[in-house]
Structure 1
Amino acid sequence: MRKVRWLILSAVSLAAGAVQAQGSQSAAPAVTSATQAPVLRTSPGLRMHRLPDDNIPAFMEADTIEGDPDSDLTLSGNAQVRRIDGVIKGDRINYRKDTGEVEVQGSARMMRDGTLVTGPNAKFNVDKYSGEIEKPNFWMGAAGGFAVAEHADIFSKSQMRLHTVTYSGCSCETPSWYIKANTVDIDFDENEGVARNGVLYFKDVPILASPYMTFPVKKERKSGFLMPTYGTTSQGGFDLSLPYYLNLAPNYDMTIQPRYFSKRGLQMGGEFRYLGSSYGGIVNGTYLPDDHVTGEDRWMYWWRHQQMFSHGFYTDWDIAKVSDDDYFRDISQLGLNQASTTYLPQRARVGWASPSYWSAYAQVYKFQTLQDPDAPLVPPYDKVPELYLRGARYDWGGFDVDWTSTAVRFSIPTVGGVRQGQQGDRLQSYPTVSYPIVKPGWFVVPKVGVNYTQYQTNWYGRDWLGLNANTPEAGTSAGYRQSQSRTVPIMSLDTGLIFERDTSLFGKASTQTLEPRLYYLYVPYRDQSKMPVYDTSLADFSFSQAFEENIYTGGWDRIANANQLTAALTSRWLDANTGFERLSLSVAQRLYFADQKVTLPGETPRENVRSDFLVGASAALTDTLTTEVAAQYNPYDSNWSRGLVSARWSPQRLTTVAVSYRYQRDPQPGVAYQPQGQNQVSLALQWPFSKRWYGVGRVDYSLRSGPSSTIANTTESPRVTQAIAGLEYKGDCCWVGRVVYQRYAVSATDANSAVFFQLELTGLGSLGTDPMNLLNRSIPGYSRITPPVPAGTTFERYE
């Protein structure tokens, strides 16, 4: 039988409009014209369309169409009605224009915005957007849910009620989890579903029941309770939190999080996020009154904000503070080792950046230092304030010009009422000019600059630099000037060559490079022994630092004299087809033509004419095995100053083993500006025991022993600084179970332990504490055993 197709203009609104989500679309909208016969116009692609308020054209198709389009129509045999906002299909469709009644008999199918509803029969009033469906099945559009009900009442274009409902976000034929409820009210405009007398089943076992629960019906934010989190830690005991999310507006929201510690009491916390066209930020904080262990109020807040103004002006701040030094050691987020937090920033800045060459800012930068009684720290200097100005122009007649200036007032807090250092002002200006010559296969970059620094210092009568030791003025600031300046010219020449040749590596065609590089630096000596030291420390010697202008980092309170040449050689093997780097070898050494005369207080000047050797190698030996070696070797005492050896093997997805060894020699005795030595072995892995069981783990073991190099009258012994062990079970469909144990050091002598439990239900959420952040951060190459579900769209299930 020949199919019949009609295109009519009417106010008919499809019954599927009752199952509305965010917008509407169609791949074949219909148009008419007073002077042109109605035709179908194809759409170039799936996209959102703006619906007219009324007179939406409808396209009808069936084996037979009978009746008058102005009164009654009957479509029989493979009947369907299409509009820009949806589709109705059925064995037979009856439509009465005078009452707006539409009746679908047999195999009713309605689709709108990716939501598909099927049932044996359906009745609608298209003028009122109301009706009913018997025994409907729902596929909930982009939300990805599936529901079966005994009956559905449709009240309006966006509101409906389902009776005796079973819902699941699991796509399996036999879902591992589902929710049963007596009734479910859905409001698509408000993005809210309300289930009454709902029960969550897992493996046909009820695990959670509630007389009233709400949930979002679209992939949009919605106010309501989030999944509770629970676990246990040695510092806080049993830990339970029940967050409540407030979707206040499209551009800001808030989460309120009451949290109960069995050892410490009830804590209230919250997080507020906001975002505008020119600003954004986040505020979070907690308050724990009368800690059961300490008897004190414990609190924390952190506020980060960024904002842009017109004409290049901006402002930002990062302000954090806690009630006491032990806050993060006693109270931290589950799965996060915040106990290592030492300095909390309190910074506010106002700046300006021109579209051409200039930028500037003014900021106040302070710190809260969290002291460990077993490892006391000297707090850093506060900058109250710091002024910054920079002008830079590149390729200006072939020259690169840069001029950076800063003015800082330094203030150091007292510890126990005792002042920790001198205070004062520093003005620094550093203009530079370079002329880069870069050609294929080689480059030469000559550069010259002049660094000028002016100090105004209050020494408080103390010998902070230790210059008057063993003299009659010992302990005093005799000979220290309040006002002093320094002018240091700095000249450098950076040159390099790049050679290439075709070769092979492991039997594969490759391109090998040979890249020699020479860097000459000359800085004349200036006596800086009586200048203050505010924010300067000795930089770690590395491949990048070997080509820097100063061996000190920070604010350059010391500029080392130099007459030296750095020589480096790098060779790489690149895959000839993909360009992937298979192997890289590097070596560098610095040659000194003058003795070191400028030092930090307590630093022993270098006397050698050659620096340590820097060697490095990285290799992707196979597509699954990568290795890296980096070392610093002292040729004079035949000792290693620093070393790193690491390897990572990932033979397949969900399988990775990473092992590393890190070593760093202890700094000179009494030197506080260098980091403490390190001697640590780390092992991390993710390994499948079967198709369903997976193990995860990490161990960091410190090999250090003997007296501490930075803490007086304390000793160290080998110990585990962090340990993670966990099991993951991948269910047959739509669920994962996890248990993870973590132990980590919270101070020089104490450690914290925590256990996490989690049941992850795909399409619903997670019960318990989410250890994903911990595993992603701690285990290189970790992958979720269940890939994330791709986000749905309103164009799904288009018919």
Structure 2
Amino acid sequence: MKKNYLTLLSLSVLTALYSSQSFADLRQQCLLGVPRFTGETVQGNPNDQPVYIEADRAELNQPTNARYEGDVDIKQGNRHLKAQVAEVTQSGEGDNVQRYAYAQGGFDYKDNQINLLGSEAKIHLNSKDTDIQNADYQLVNRQGRGKAEQIELRDDYRLMKNATFTSCLPNDNAWSVDAAEMRQYIQEEYAEMWHARFKVHGVPIFYTPYLQLPIGDRRRSGLLIPNAGTSSRDGYWYSQPIYWNIAPNFDATITPKYMSHRGWQINGETRYLTHLGEGKIAAEYLSNDRYDEYLGDNRSRHLFYWKHSSSFLKNWRLNVDYTRVSDKRYFTDFDSDYGSSTDGYADQTARIAYYQPNYNLSISAKQFQVFDEANIGPYRALPQIDFNYYKNSLGGLVDFKLFSQAVRFDNDSALMPKAWRFHLEPSLNLPLSARYGSVNIETKLYATHYNQKKGSGSKAEDVQSSVNRVLPQVKVDFQTLLASNKTLIDGYTQTIEPRVQYLYRPYKDQSNIGSKLNSDYLGFGYDSALLQQDYYSLFRDRRYSGLDRIASANQFTVGGTTRFYDKQANERFNFSLGQIYYIRDSRIDDNSDNSTYGSSSSWAMESNWRINKKWNWRGSYQYDTRLNQTSLANTTLEFNPQGRNLVQLNYRYASQAYIDQNLTSAINRYNQDIKQVGVTVAWEVSDNWALVGRHYQDIALKKPVEQYLGVQYNACCWAVGVGARRYVTSRANQSHDEVLYDHSFGVTFELRGLGNNDHKSGIENMLKRGKLPYVQAFSLY
């Protein structure tokens, strides 16, 4: 399996790199076969426009009839009729006058909506209602054509008897719908069909007594294109989306999905846009999971998702981001658009905020559903109240900022304490700048009070009920910019941007905040965790995120960035390097494991290089001077010549020592270095063919992490795609050295040209699939 897959991936890379470029965009090619309305569209009631008639011969019998013969050409507004014989009759008097026009011996009719070729036509000149016999029709400015024995043209609809319809271009019979009766609604842009037969290359595939199809850009309720496939996890599966256009600002998609190994799953998604805001609500439900390897007690599996954003009463904002699943293995066992097992948790947050130019106030609630098998989960913050105040140029010199917060922490575990935290953080910043540099001098005060309550469990740890912590801080940040046109590379301008920061904050023992039981899993305290070090994080105020652990600091951070700009002032290359030098170790308590040791931090380096319009490179590197080894490294090289075509190579490394020292106990079980290399290829091989190949290999384990190969064929009126995927998964009671894979194969089919279709190649959708989707990692554009 591995050898064959790598062969396919190699073939896809070679095909991508050496394929010829497309001569024209597929959409442009498809529109070449679509009739266009020429000239300027006449606005207003077409019946009020004058009529112009030309013919070789004319016989006028006023006032009853007129007969025109030989190359008859009739124009009125946007309407244009050509025929061999045309006759106009009139009967009645006064307001009861009835006028009719007849086209005989074949005719050609065109307007801004439809082109028609027919044998005979009868036109009621008073209302312009038209009856046509034996017609070929083609829509104007969009794909759509067909035939009909009889057509009734009215102001707001077209009624066709024994008719056909397809979005394929002339001489292309890939698919069509034959119907005993077809009614096309012009303004609503859809067609109703009775006794419809769907045909592929003239062969009937299925019959339905009633069918609706869109013939324009408006959304319509009905069946969407189904998906099908197979996987070792789900078995054979089939999903059928059903779209419900409830209102112009409200719709829903319901998707029943059958999996032979699991049973029926019902998925639904609702989108809304109202004066109260916009958002999306989704749910997935499987009443009885039949999968043998799922060992959970509750066989009902479900997901609920809600994302909402609104602005109201001018200055108020409301945001909700809520995802909850039935069990910790949900995203491992199911592919979902609303989460992934690689995230490790699901967000459940809500926030309402009030904004003014100098201050803002927010009230929020936040918790996480963690998918790790830990006995103690994270704290939830309910409620959390934040107040921020800003005042620049206070006294004409300094900027003042105040951050304050009150938050209550709770935990599901009876072993964990509960707490209220009250925090004030005023700061004064004195910005000084000159031609060659700037200095920011900032003073800040962290003032925090905790009211802590012991957990209700019998083995709960004792905690100090009241804790006060006051920490002053001083920071001096110096930056300068030196530029020169004299560089090693002609035509480029180079800048050198040194930066030196001094940070001082005294030591305060904070071991009495929170519980030590959760430090292995949650980091420290109630909401603090270690920050990953990169170049820009070297200049952060604190080693830990959150406020429960504010480490002492007496340190210099020295770093710098150099950049190269071309003649058009586009940044083409940058390189940043920095390190922290500790005058005294940074610590939070008497535990040496929570303290920095040595005279300096790791070296952190980052670089971006826009080699040319097609090639980009990005890399970062961290060298631990205490361990005398590389701790982190990653690099990405991307070839992106045009459009959505790309080849991306990437590599990432994390040493076991770094993992053990910085990451959570769940990841510590990895017990070795992380060494992973990956390649992603996405290429429009031609106007019709597109492919995506992806391979991620764990060098340390000597096994692939994920492999994917997708191919899609695109025509003007249809597209079909196939995808094969193999990726690492897990199961309950899995042994430490066991590596399990899920193999899947899927097929997608699409009818095109029915609505506003831009004839995309399908590359974007294929890149999003998988546990490790494509990420563009570059900033030099």
Tell me if TM exceeds 0.5: yes
Please name the residue that 1:370 is paired with. 371
Q: CA deviation at 1:89?
A: 3.2
Alignment partners' CA distance in 1, 2:257 and 2:499: 58
Alignment partners' CA distance in 1, 2:284 and 2:304: 7
Q: In structure 2, give the amino acid aligned to 1:427.
A: F
CA 1:620–1:638: 2 relative to 1, 3 Å: same
Q: CA deviation at 1:284?
A: 1.6
Q: In structure 2, give the amino acid aligned to 1:679.
A: K
Q: CA deviation at 1:522?
A: 1.7
User: Does residue 79 of the first structure (1) align with residue 70 of the second (2)?
Assistant: no
Pick from 422, 425, 428 the counterpart of residue 420 of structure 2.
Answer: 425
Please name the residue that 1:436 is paired with. 431
Structure 1, residues 57-104: CA drift from partner, whole Å, max 9, x if none? 313334479979998777886634334xx3233357655572142334
Alignment partners' CA distance in 2, 1:345 and 1:635: 36
Please name the residue that 2:520 is paired with. none
Alignment partners' CA distance in 2, 1:660 and 1:394: 44
User: Does residue 590 of the first structure (1) align with residue 574 of the second (2)?
Assistant: no
Alignment partners' CA distance in 2, 1:79 and 1:671: 83
Alignment partners' CA distance in 2, 1:231 and 1:771: 19
Alignment partners' CA distance in 2, 1:95 and 1:504: 84
Please name the residue that 1:322 is paired with. 325
Alignment partners' CA distance in 2, 1:369 and 1:614: 31
Q: Is the 8 A contact 2:682 2:763 kept in 1?
A: no
Please name the residue that 2:726 is paired with. 743
Please name the residue that 1:502 is paired with. 485
Q: Is the 8 A contact 1:108 1:122 kept in 2?
A: no
Q: In structure 1, give the amino acid aligned to 2:464.
A: R
Pick from 676, 683, 689 the counterpart of residue 680 of structure 1.
Answer: 676
SS in 1 for 2:551: coil
Pick from 603, 610, 620 the counterpart of residue 630 of structure 1.
Answer: 620
Please name the residue that 1:251 is paired with. 249
User: Does residue 161 of the first structure (1) align with residue 170 of the second (2)?
Assistant: no
Superposition pairs of residues 133-282 of structure 1, within 5 angstroms: 133-141=132-140, 143-154=142-153, 156-171=154-169, 173-282=171-280
Alignment partners' CA distance in 2, 1:587 and 1:252: 51
Between structures 1 and 2, the one with greater helix share: 2
Please name the residue that 1:664 is paired with. 654
Q: Is the 8 A contact 2:227 2:749 kept in 1?
A: no
Please name the residue that 2:353 is paired with. 351
SS in 1 for 2:765: helix
SS in 1 for 2:378: coil
Please name the residue that 1:291 is paired with. 289
Superposition pairs of residues 347-746 of structure 1, within 5 angstroms: 347-354=349-356, 356-372=357-373, 376=374, 378-395=376-393, 397=396, 399-414=398-413, 419-438=414-433, 441-460=436-455, 477=462, 480-503=463-486, 509-532=491-514, 533-553=525-545, 555-577=546-568, 579-598=569-588, 603-651=593-641, 655-666=645-656, 667=658, 669=660, 673=664, 678-686=674-682, 695-704=691-700, 717-729=701-713, 734-746=717-729
Higher alpha-carbon deviation: 395-404 or 64-73: 64-73
Q: CA deviation at 1:406?
A: 0.9
Q: CA deviation at 1:425?
A: 0.8
Pick from 80, 89, 111 the counterpart of residue 81 of structure 2.
Answer: 89
Q: Is the 8 A contact 2:441 2:475 kept in 1?
A: yes
Superposition pairs of residues 54-133 of structure 1, within 5 angstroms: 57-63=48-54, 79-83=73-77, 86-91=78-83, 98-104=97-103, 107-112=107-112, 114-119=113-118, 121-133=120-132
* TM-score normalised by structure 2 residue count: 0.80
Q: Is the 8 A contact 1:337 1:744 kept in 2?
A: no
Alignment partners' CA distance in 1, 2:344 and 2:168: 44
CA 1:165–1:422: 2 relative to 1, 3 Å: same
CA 1:590–1:701: 2 relative to 1, 3 Å: same
Alignment partners' CA distance in 2, 1:150 and 1:600: 92
Structure 1, residues 176-209: CA drift from partner, whole Å, max 9, x if none? 3333334322223444312234333444554444
Q: Is the 8 A contact 1:697 1:779 kept in 2?
A: no
* TM-score normalised by structure 1 residue count: 0.78
CA 1:277–1:632: 2 relative to 1, 3 Å: same
Alignment partners' CA distance in 2, 1:348 and 1:621: 43
Q: In structure 1, give the amino acid aligned to 2:478.
A: T
Structure 1, residues 215-253: CA drift from partner, whole Å, max 9, x if none? 122211111111122112222211112222111111101
Alignment partners' CA distance in 1, 2:703 and 2:158: 62
Alignment partners' CA distance in 2, 1:287 and 1:401: 51
Q: Is the 8 A contact 1:617 1:630 kept in 2?
A: yes
CA 1:383–1:781: 2 relative to 1, 3 Å: closer
Higher alpha-carbon deviation: 301-310 or 560-569: 301-310
Higher alpha-carbon deviation: 321-330 or 746-755: 746-755
CA 1:377–1:66: 2 relative to 1, 3 Å: farther
Q: Is the 8 A contact 2:566 2:572 kept in 1?
A: yes
Structure 1, residues 677-704: CA drift from partner, whole Å, max 9, x if none? 6322112223577887654321222344
Q: CA deviation at 1:391?
A: 1.5
SS in 1 for 2:538: helix
Q: In structure 2, give the amino acid aligned to 1:596.
A: S
Alignment partners' CA distance in 1, 2:773 and 2:455: 50
SS in 2 for 1:597: coil
SS in 2 for 1:529: coil
Q: CA deviation at 1:463?
A: 13
Alignment partners' CA distance in 1, 2:698 and 2:645: 26
User: Does residue 775 of the first structure (1) align with residue 767 of the second (2)?
Assistant: yes
Alignment partners' CA distance in 2, 1:377 and 1:581: 49
Please name the residue that 1:307 is paired with. 310
Q: Is the 8 A contact 1:231 1:757 kept in 2?
A: yes
Q: CA deviation at 1:426?
A: 0.5
SS in 1 for 2:341: helix
CA 1:662–1:270: 2 relative to 1, 3 Å: same
Higher alpha-carbon deviation: 217-226 or 489-498: 489-498
Please name the residue that 1:763 is paired with. 753
Q: In structure 2, give the amino acid aligned to 1:153.
A: E
Alignment partners' CA distance in 2, 1:115 and 1:431: 70
Alignment partners' CA distance in 2, 1:319 and 1:119: 59
SS in 1 for 2:152: strand
Alignment partners' CA distance in 2, 1:71 and 1:398: 94
Q: Is the 8 A contact 1:328 1:341 kept in 2?
A: no
Q: Is the 8 A contact 1:242 1:257 kept in 2?
A: yes
Q: CA deviation at 1:303?
A: 2.2
Residue segments in structure 2 that go unaligned for 5+ positions in a row: 1-36, 91-96, 515-524, 735-739, 777-781
CA 1:26–1:325: 2 relative to 1, 3 Å: same
Q: CA deviation at 1:341?
A: 4.8
CA 1:442–1:669: 2 relative to 1, 3 Å: closer
Alignment partners' CA distance in 1, 2:226 and 2:456: 58
Superposition pairs of residues 27-66 of structure 1, within 5 angstroms: 27=40, 51=44, 57-63=48-54
SS in 2 for 1:603: helix
SS in 2 for 1:127: coil
CA 1:195–1:568: 2 relative to 1, 3 Å: same
Q: Is the 8 A contact 2:285 2:300 kept in 1?
A: yes
SS in 2 for 1:338: coil
Q: CA deviation at 1:623?
A: 3.0
Q: Is the 8 A contact 2:54 2:74 kept in 1?
A: no
Alignment partners' CA distance in 1, 2:280 and 2:720: 32
Over the aligned positions, Cα root-mean-square deviation in angstroms equals: 3.6
Pick from 744, 749, 753 the counterpart of residue 754 of structure 1.
Answer: 744
Residue segments in structure 1 that go unaligned for 5+ positions in a row: 1-23, 30-48, 465-474, 705-716, 783-799
CA 1:657–1:378: 2 relative to 1, 3 Å: farther
SS in 1 for 2:535: coil
